[in-house]
């Protein structure tokens, strides 16, 4: 069975920040699934959603995940919605260890409210949605995803942890589990 480390969690939970540092720490290669999708499509995630829709994005996401899953010793930062599909979940479970970077809706709001690159959190015609509208959207997505996030092998709360501490805890877990 091939072994990779997959990082999941809501948007802005730290996956893309922690992934490369973790990979460097354990000496594995790093991939960010959104970057792989953008390279393959030669478009930004936001453009893919706008021009071809979410269904198309999810199809490409599964294709890219499948390609990466055939390799070994990779740290892969997934998109926030990647695990929310039974197919993707089984690919991940069969080819590695899933780490859930847990963050609160409040933290997601703080980190994402001025961002315009997350199609799931855009409000057409309302460029400055109020906090409750924004948090409601986050909660709706969370509700659908939580059962997938919680299937992770290791869960780590990232709200109030420095990046270095999170990386230390994950690498200690992996040392034990995978002898890296």
Q: Which is nearer to ligand S3P, 50 or 72 (CB)?
A: 50
Instruction: Return residues touching ligand S3P (CB under 6 A).
Output: 11, 15-16, 34, 45, 79-81, 118-120
- Rounded to a whole number of angstroms, the minimum distance from the CB of residue 56 to ligand S3P is 12
Of 168, 156, 163, nearest to 9 (Cα)? 156
Residue 59 to residue 64: CA distance in whole angstroms: 9
Q: Which is nearer to ligand S3P, 147 or 175 (CB)?
A: 147
- Rounded to a whole number of angstroms, the minimum distance from the CB of residue 145 to ligand S3P is 8
Beta strands in the chain (DSSP E): 4-8, 29-32, 74-77, 96-102, 154-157
- Rounded to a whole number of angstroms, the minimum distance from the CB of residue 16 to ligand S3P is 6
- Comparing every residue's Cβ against ligand S3P, the nearest one is 79
Q: Which region, left, alpha or beta, applies to residue 121 given φ > 0 means left and ψ of -120 to 50 means alpha?
A: alpha
């Amino acid at each position: 069975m091939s072994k990779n480390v997959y990082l999941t969690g809501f948007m802005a939970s730290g996956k893309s920040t922690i992934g490369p540092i973790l990979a460097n720490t354990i000496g594995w290669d790093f991939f960010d699934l959104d970057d792989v999708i953008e390279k393959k499509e030669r478009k930004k995630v936001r453009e893919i959603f706008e021009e071809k829709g979410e269904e198309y994005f999810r199809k490409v996401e599964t294709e890219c995940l499948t390609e990466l899953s055939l390799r070994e010793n990779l740290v892969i930062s997934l998109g926030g919605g990647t695990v929310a599909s039974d197919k993707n979940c089984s690919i991940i479970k069969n080819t590695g260890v899933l780490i859930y970077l847990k963050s609160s809706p409040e933290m997601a709001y703080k980190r994402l409210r001025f961002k315009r690159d997350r199609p799931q959190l855009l409000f057409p015609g309302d460029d400055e949605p109020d906090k409750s509208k924004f948090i409601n959207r986050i909660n709706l997505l969370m509700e659908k995803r939580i059962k997938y996030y919680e299937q992770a092998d290791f869960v780590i709360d990232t709200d109030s942890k420095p990046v270095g501490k999170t990386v230390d805890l994950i690498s200690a877990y992996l040392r034990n589990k995978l002898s890296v």
